[in-house]
Amino acid sequence: MKVLKFGGSTLTGIQQIERVLLRLEKTIQSDSDIVLILSAFGGVTDQLMQLSQSAVNSDDAYLQTLEVIQKRHIEVIQAFIPESKQKDTINDTESLLSALKDAIHGVHLLKELSPKSLDLILSFGERLASVILVGCLSARSIPVELIDPRTLIATDDQFGKAKIEWESTISNVQKQLSGKTKVPIVPGFIGMTSKGEITTLGRGGSDYTATLIGAALKAEAVEIWTDVDGIMTADPKKVAKAFPIDHLSWDEAMELSHFGAKLIFPPAMIPAAQHNIPIYIRNIFHADFKGTIVGSGLDSDQPVRGISSIDQTALLSVQGSGMMGVVGIAKRLFGALAKNAINVILITQASSEHSICFAIAPNQADAAKKAIEEEFAFEISAGHMDRVNVETGVSIVAVVGENMRRTPGIASRLFQALAKNGVNVQAIAQGSSELNISVVIADEDEAKALNALHEAFFLSDTKSLHVFIIGTGLIGSTLLKQMGNQQSKLRSEKALDIRLMGIGDIDHMILDSTPIDTGNWQNILKNGPRMDLHAYITKMLNMNLPNTVFADCTGSADVVDYYKQILSASISIVTPNKIANSGPYSRYKDLRDTAAQKGVKFLYEANVGAGLPVISTLNDLVSSGDTIVKIEAILSGTLSYIFNSFTGEKKFSDIVKEAKAKGLSEPDPRDDMNGLDVARKILILARETGLILESEQVRLENILPESCQKAGDVKSFFQALEKADPQFAKKRDKAAGQDQVLRYIATLENGQATVSLKAIDKSHPFYALTGSDNMVVLTTERYHELPLVIKGPGAGAEVTAAGVFADIIRIANYLS
């Protein structure tokens, strides 16, 4: 035989109750050897609790809630029982409602709600639901019989969380339920003392009723029907990618339940485990799915089976030199807590015995502190022990699995996943059985930690990366296009799930808890609120997502001002924006130090050479112990094109006009030709080699005559440039006479950075450069005779965006 329990989540409304009735009808027709345990209709227990408090605290407001409860139950009768068959069920229901009203009225008159009175009131939820379901099933000619749980479940008088009297309960169940010809329906959650007083079994008490009856009747299984597909790998409300666990051992289920998994009440597993009766967790809305089986002999190859958490806890610390080596400290500490009925959730102690910390419910923190300080009053006054430190606003996250003890590296993976997402661990606990590892973290990091750990242990084949982008100009929009084009390929071939969570431009912004469609971002963004940079950054930080990257595709100094705050929140940054790295050296160093301290990445490959691997190559050389002797570089696509094309066939001014017409220069070519951008790039490269250099220390040659620099608008500039054509022709002719060409070169040598126009011969790699390509020549101790050459397009939206995109993927690889 089987025991089937239907929870309140399966009885929340007409549609849900219809599913339960159909399931029961089908089940009983195929196998009538079952016992049904019912919870109250969904939400009714909470309503009864509120009703009770209202009766104590107000005048007649509680009557309105009572009417709502009455109406809801009568509506169920009217929905499922033909009018001709409603009389008995309505009479029984109204009799219970009348008794409930009398009990509530008594509380109202006395203005006192004792635990005993509350148990009586709360019991009506299960009793009403069971009376009505008996009527509904009987109306369908299904043979069922209501059994009063007070005649079955014997308890002590600890109201609100009564303890089971085992022998009496087993005897009662066997006498009353064995050999029934009709299917027994038993209200869960309810018991009775030897004095005939109603008690309740506490949270999840209906599960307890089910397993108690299952154990007494030696059932083959207990099925707990709910509204989810079983016990999940994590709380699906906090971890969107959580999925059902097919099976768990008793110990694993106990641990997960203790640390927050809410589908099975921990004491409810004891009778089933003792009698080796498997528990099935099933979904009434997905009845064909097998759900989760909890039992013995269910081995798994997976080391971690689930992750659970308890939020809003308090962490108390007791420490002092007077604790070291003193026998009985722990006994006195936890004895003081036990005397005050304070339940301890987690305990951890330093091996030095200098400190003990433990977690409890926050509403017991003050009482715990008082009890401990009274117990150790002498030690505290003598200075042998500090006063108890209480820290609230913390959560406990537990990773559970029996095979963890046989799998090396579990703790390493756990702490690495937390560290890379900036989650600080305040306390750690692990039993010698290695069944679980528990950590105490800040409440605000709970969801981030759960998602990071879930991905580390259950989705290691797929890494999610949450991306926020500021700037949707040429580079930003191209980056978004590239991301959209590559998303499916990265997911299928690289197991990388890039999720766009935020976009902002100069006018609008949008940040969402669900990924933004990269194929429709323009329409989504234009309907977003007005851009507020501070609000954008604040919301991104408050979302506190794991594995997050911020991409700055602007040229704005305002965005750069937020870099340190972003890195400090353990969010990596990628950017083509040179302002942060070419400004004061102190800021450059501060950002790098912050990133290193927080274990995140600050990548800016596109600062120099767009998509060319210049900075990464340079960093690899330095990190591997090579010494940089000299850097020579052509770092401006505009100036590269101009001087590569300046062969004598065209005037210099005409070539500059061509560059502008082809989009190779800024609208005002002077912004490229003044060399400032090249100076910033060589400054960044100099700093990457380890030099402490400021921008004013870079020797910069502005190739434009003063008349061109001071010309007003662009038209005036070109007029002045035409007049300067002979000067440029003279420089070209002089170089050509020595079989040389002109190139605008950035050089770093002997600690000095220079940017100037130089004449070079055929032996130099820059001699044969064509088009608008950039080239960087690295002369090092290892690459001395034949320098290392990096060449390719150094400008343009496609290659620059590709450089930023490559940095994003590097961060994903680092996080995995």
- Give one DSSP letter per residue of 382-416, joined into a string: TTSSPPPEEEEEEEEEEEE-GGGGG-TTHHHHHHH
Is-contact 244 187, C-beta < 8 A? no
Tell me the Cα Rg of the chain. 37
pLDDT at 460: 65
Answer whether residue 11 shows pLDDT above 80: yes
Mean pLDDT, the chain, as a whole number? 93
* Residue 176, both tokens: 């009353």
pLDDT at 352: 66
pLDDT band for 284, please (50, 70, 90 cuts).
Answer: very high
pLDDT at 603: 97
Bridge-based pairing state of the strands 628-634 and 741-749: antiparallel
Answer whether residue 147 shows pLDDT above 70: yes
User: CA 304 to CA 435: how far, in whole Å?
Assistant: 9
* Residue 50, both tokens: 């509120």
601 belongs to the catalytic site = no
The one-character DSSP state at 154 is B
3-state secondary structure of 249: coil
390 contact partners, CB below 8 Å, separation of at least 6: 314, 315, 316, 365, 366, 368, 369
Answer whether residue 432 shows pLDDT above 70: no
Please give the average per-residue pLDDT across 41-60, as a whole number.
90
Q: How many CA atoms lie within 13 A of 45 on its CB side?
A: 23
- Nearest Cα residue to 183 out of 134, 253, 226, 122: 134
pLDDT band for 260, please (50, 70, 90 cuts).
Answer: low
Question: For residue 422, is it left (φ>0), alpha (ψ between -120 and 50) or beta?
Answer: left
User: CA 514 to CA 305: how far, in whole Å?
Assistant: 26
User: CA 62 to CA 51: how far, in whole Å?
Assistant: 5
pLDDT at 60: 77
User: CA 362 to CA 364: how far, in whole Å?
Assistant: 5
Answer whether residue 461 shows pLDDT above 80: no
Higher pLDDT, 7 or 795: 7
Amino acid at 475: I
pLDDT per position as a tens digit, 84-134: 999 999 999 999 999 999 999 999 988 899 999 999 999 999 999 999 999
Q: How many CB atoms lie within 10 A of CB 313?
A: 21
Q: What Å distances lie between residue 198 and 118, 149, 175, CA to CA?
A: 10, 10, 21
pLDDT at 66: 92
pLDDT band for 666, please (50, 70, 90 cuts).
Answer: confident
- Nearest Cα residue to 292 out of 283, 304, 302, 301: 283
pLDDT at 344: 93
pLDDT per position as a tens digit, 695-729: 999 999 999 999 999 999 999 999 999 999 999 99
**Secondary structure string (H, E, C) spanning 511-524:** ECCCCCCCCCHHHH
Please give the average per-residue pLDDT across 179-193, as a whole number.
94
Alpha helices in 60-110 (DSSP H): 62-80, 87-110
Answer whether residue 794 shows pLDDT above 70: yes
User: CA 77 to CA 94: how far, in whole Å?
Assistant: 12
User: CA 72 to CA 653: how far, in whole Å?
Assistant: 86
Catalytic residue among 420, 463, 578, 681, which? Answer: 681
Virtual torsion, Cα 51, 53, 56, 58, nearest 10 deg = -70
pLDDT at 716: 95
Answer whether residue 538 shows pLDDT above 90: yes
* Residue 57, both tokens: 């605290």
Q: Provide the whole-model pTM.
A: 0.78
Answer whether residue 804 shows pLDDT above 90: yes
- Nearest Cα residue to 614 out of 626, 631, 589: 631
Please give the average per-residue pLDDT across 429-439, as a whole number.
82
Sign of CA dihedral 24, 25, 27, 32: positive
Q: What Å distances lie between residue 249 and 298, 299, 437, CA to CA?
A: 6, 8, 17
Phi (first) and psi of residue 705, to 5 degrees = -60, 155
Q: Which residues pair with 474 in a beta bridge?
A: none
Is-contact 652 725, C-beta < 8 A? yes
* Residue 726, both tokens: 């002979």
Q: Identify the weakest region by mean pLDDT among 260-264, 313-317, 396-400, 731-735.
A: 260-264
Q: What percent of the chain has pLDDT over 90?
A: 82
Answer whether residue 663 shows pLDDT above 90: no
Q: What Å distances lie between residue 555 and 551, 552, 672, 676, 789, CA to CA?
A: 12, 8, 15, 14, 28
pLDDT at 350: 73
3-state secondary structure of 606: helix
Q: How many CB atoms lie within 10 A of CB 701?
A: 15
User: CA 454 to CA 302: how far, in whole Å?
Assistant: 13
Answer whether residue 400 shows pLDDT above 80: yes
Answer whether residue 177 shows pLDDT above 70: yes
Virtual torsion, Cα 303, 306, 311, 317, nearest 10 deg = -20
pLDDT band for 433, please (50, 70, 90 cuts).
Answer: low
Q: Identify the weakest region by mean pLDDT among 116-120, 402-406, 528-532.
A: 402-406
Angle, helices 365-375/329-339, rounded to nearest 10 degrees: 130
